[in-house]
Structure formats: structure tokens, C-alpha cells
Structure 1
Amino acid sequence: MILIDRQSTHWAITLNRPDKLNALSAALVEELIQAFDAAEAAHTPLVSLQGEGRCFSAGFDMSGVETQSEGDLVLRFIRIETLLNKIASSPCFTVALAHGRNFGAGVDLVAACKLRVAAPGSTFRMPGLKFGLVLGSARFARIVGTPEARRILETAATFDVERASANGFIERIAGPEEHFMVIEEALARVGALSAESRALLYGVLDTEQANTDLAVLVRSAAVPGIHKRIEAYLASSKKA
């Protein structure tokens, strides 16, 4: 479900479920966790993350949700949070190359990366709170600031790449034809410091709150009735 181009200078990971808009199934999440573990073990200095097809990622894969137990759903959300924290805390310099219409956990994947790039016309929406789920909200607020995060998350508003650039969520607007240049510039940025100095910098600037974020996610996902809340959200989305 992912493609990994292991180059000598960096690894390029591509989400490869274009028919499902790269939605995050349980299997895809586990493949990504393994890929980032492998990149760290290989001391890869830079890892880029992009999506095949019409968008970077449509977020949590709702396929078959009705057949899964509430416990299974909670575990799936926990594993996504585990993946997000792994990326955010990675010693690798991580680059998200987003495009298209991105939702929920797909937006959270972008937020977890150190350099966030999006193509012209990209949009983002984080509707998790519509069904009572707190996933990635705190990390998003740490990037864009609490007032802006509140404005966006309270209404699950879609925001475009221009707003994302203005509030700092996206650092650079660049289409696929510019990705080579983005990676080259990112490699130069990485090479400006030794691996040891870069690790020290990442450590002192680390704002991650892994245990707190996970605890909040579990509390929100474990409230009984997650099936009904998701069903109600999907029904309202179809009407809209």
C-alpha cells in the first residue's frame, strides 16, 4: 500500500491507494509505521511523504467501519496517533508533499512533518470533532496557534492552501513539478548541520506531548457510541 524509493540521499514514501484516495486503512498505517522505523534504523537523513492519485490522503478509511467492534476502532485510532507521533519525533527530516482535497488523519499526517509543502489548489479539512474524536488537534494548534485552530476546528471548516500558508500550516506552495527542487533544498538544509547537531536541535525544539495527545485521543475514542457518532457524521456529510 506504499511505495518506497530508497535513494542514497533520502527515502521517498508514496501512499499508493489511489482508488481509495489514500485513505488510512489499518494495514496502510502499519506499513507506514514500519517504513519510518526502517528509515530511522538506516539513519536516513530525509524522508518525504506524498500520495498517488487525486489527493495526498482522504484520512481515516471508513470502509467496513460498521463491521468492526468499538474496541477495534479505538485501536485503529491509537495506531494512527502512534504513527503521527513517530513521524513528528523522527530524527529524520520529514517532508510532506500534499495535493488535492485532504481530510482528517490525512491532514494530521501533513502536520506531523517538519516541512509541509502543498500544491496550488490544495484544501484541508479536519472533521474528527464532528464525531467526538480528538486526533491531532493539539499538534495543529501548536503549528497555527490556539485562536486559529479554534476557528478552524470548531466548525470543521475547509481551509485552502492560501490560508494554510498564511497561518503557517504550509511552509511552501509548490506543485509536483517543483518537488525535485523542494527535496534538493531540503537536503541542503539538512546538510547544514551534522547529524549530532541536528539531533540536539530537534531535541531542544521538540514540542511534542506524546503521552498527553495519546491520552486525550483514547478518552475521546473510548466514549461508548463511536459507531453511532460516525454513522451520524457520514449521514450529515451526504446531506451536505
Structure 2
Amino acid sequence: MIDLTIADDVARIVLNAPEKRNALNVPALRDLGAAYDEAEAAGVRALVLRGEGPAFCAGRDIAGVDAATDDVTGYLDGHLTPLLKKMSAFPAPTFAAAHGACLGVGLGLLIATDVVYVADSAKIGSPFAALGATLDSGGHALFYERLGAHKTLDLIYTGRLMTGTEAVQSGLFSQVFPADEVNAATEGAASRAAAGATQSFLASKRLVARLRDERLALWDAVTAENINQASLRDTADYREGFAAFQEKRRPEFTGR
């Protein structure tokens, strides 16, 4: 149910189980992790993640799961969290095209992606009130950071789902598009990134992760930026970018 194709320096990973709205069980999580490993080994310069069918990902596949004996810890700590960490640390810009249900694990996949474009009709929130369970996959952290405590708990208590438009207006994700345009917009952004200065993008990706995880103060962040800039001076793309600017031509970056 996990399809991977690689072309033009872009990996394209598709959740392809539309009959169950791309809900993910343990084997699917393993396959998804393997797809990221294969893409990394191929040295791609950008990655796109999307879902086939009516939904991006409706969450965990709980078909046949016995609630009384469910190995929640094994699923979350043993499989899902390592996958999300792997996705977040992928050594190239990553993009997701989200439509339909983006819930639970599906929301976590988006949180672990660098840039998320959503369909205006996407459904994002916490459906767990109806299950007697709680929001997982990083949802609490995302909602609290972007929405504050009151709206976070309102969404959790009520189970109300935001549209993609509301989610972008609230600062959760990057841009919103009509449902029939979101895949093309995401592909275009990934292709442009794959033709860009990959090492500079990765420097920013690492710094943004530090801002998120370490809450760097302003001048500490500035120092980190200065270090990044100095390290990029020795890359081929840095030299190409300066030369192209001075020669008034379009740069041709190689990702090195």
C-alpha cells in the first residue's frame, strides 16, 4: 500500500490504500519507513508525500484490533514515533499534499513533513473523543504551539474538525489550494526545491528544528545563522549562486 517512485531528483511516496482511507497498521508503517530509507539512499533532493483516494490518511488502522489487549505502546513508541523522527530528519526538503481526512497518525505524518499544502476541504483535528482515546502523533504540541490552550482543548473536547482553509488561516500549515490543485502545487514546489541549493535548505531545516526543540533566544539563533553561512561558503552551490548573481544569469545548482 506504500508506493515509491523516484525521478528528476524527487522521491514520490503515495499512501495507496484508498479503500480504508490510507489508515496505517504496523506493516504499513514499516513499509513507509522503508520507502524513506530507499529515497535517502538514492540521494534525492526533495520528497513528496500524498495519499490516494478520498483521504490523505484517516489515522491508525484499527480493524480487528482488540481494545482489551491492544499493544498501544508497541504501535506508538515501537513503530510510529521512530518513523516520524525519521521523516522529520530526512536529508532533503519534504513536502506533503493533504486532502480529505488528515487525522491521528495522518496528522503526525504532516507534522513530520517540512512543508504541507492542504486542500481547502481537508479535515484536520482530533477525532479521539468518540473513541475514548486521546490525540497522539504530536498533535498536542502542534495545536498548542499554533492555536493556544483554549482552542486546542476545544478541538479535543468537541471533536470538531477544521477545514484545510481554517487550518492554514490558523497557522497550522503552509498554503491551501482547491482539492483538484493541491497535488500539482505540491509537485511544483518539490521540483523547484530539487533544483535549488540543497545544502542551504538543509542548514535552514536543521536550524528550524533547533528553534522548535531548543527554543533558541534571538542572538543564539543569529549566531547559528552566522555559523551556517560560513559553512555554506565552501559548497559548490554557494559559489555558483554568487557567480550567477555577478554574471546576471540564472544559477544552476547541483545540491553540493
The answer to whether TM tops 0.5 is yes
| Aligned twin of 2:241 | none
Q: How do 1:7-18 and structure 2 match up within 5 A?
A: 7-18=7-18
Equivalent residue letter for 2:29? V
> Which residue of the other structure, out of 180, 184, 192, is the alignment partner of 1:180?
184
Q: Structure 2: which amino acid aligns with 1:197?
A: S
Residue 170 in 1 paired to residue 173 in 2?
yes
1:131 to 133, 149, 158: 133
C-alpha separation between the residues in 2 aligned to 1:179 and 1:132?
A: 30
In structure 2, distance between residues paired with 1:182 and 1:135:
23
Alpha-carbon distance change, 139 to 9 in structure 1, aligned in 2, over 3 angstroms: farther
Superposed CA offset, 1:69-102 (max 9, x none) = 44x3321112112111211221221111111123
* Alignment-derived partner of residue 234 in structure 2: none
Give, in angstroms, the shift of residue 63 of structure 1: 0.9
After TM superposition, the structure 1 = structure 2 runs for residues 88-237 of structure 1, keeping only pairs within 5 Å, are 88-128=88-128, 130-132=132-134, 134-141=136-143, 144-147=146-149, 148-174=151-177, 175-193=179-197, 195-207=198-210
Is the contact made by 2:21 and 2:56 (CA closer than 8 Å) also made in structure 1? yes
CA distance in 2, matches of 1:159, 1:117: 15
Deviation at 1:142, TM superposition (A): 6.8
Instruction: State the distance in 1 between where 2:93 and 2:145 align.
Output: 17
The letter of the residue matching 1:9 is D
Q: Which amino acid aligns with 1:92?
A: A
Contact preservation (8 Å) 2:119, 2:182: no
Summarize the Cα distance change of 1:143–1:56 in structure 2 as closer, same or farther, 3 Å threshold.
farther
Q: % of aligned pairs identical?
A: 25
Q: Which runs of 5+ in 1 are unaligned?
A: 210-240
User: Which deviates further from its counterpart, 73-82 or 169-178?
Assistant: 169-178
Distance 1:7 1:55, change over 3 A: same
> How many residue pairs were aligned?
207
Greater Rg over alpha carbons, structure:
2
Aligned residues of 2:104 and 2:136 also touching (Cα < 8 A): no
Q: Please list every run of 5 or more consecutive structure 2 residues that lacks an aligned counterpart in the other structure.
A: 214-256
Q: Give how far 1:34 is off.
A: 0.8
Structure 1 residue 158 displacement after superposition: 1.0
Please tell me the residue identity of whatever aligns with 2:21. L
Q: Which TM-score applies when normalising by structure 1?
A: 0.76
> What RMSD, in angstroms, separates the aligned Cα atoms of the two structures?
2.4
Structure 1 segments of 4+ aligned residues over 4 angstroms from their partners: none
Partner of 1:227: none
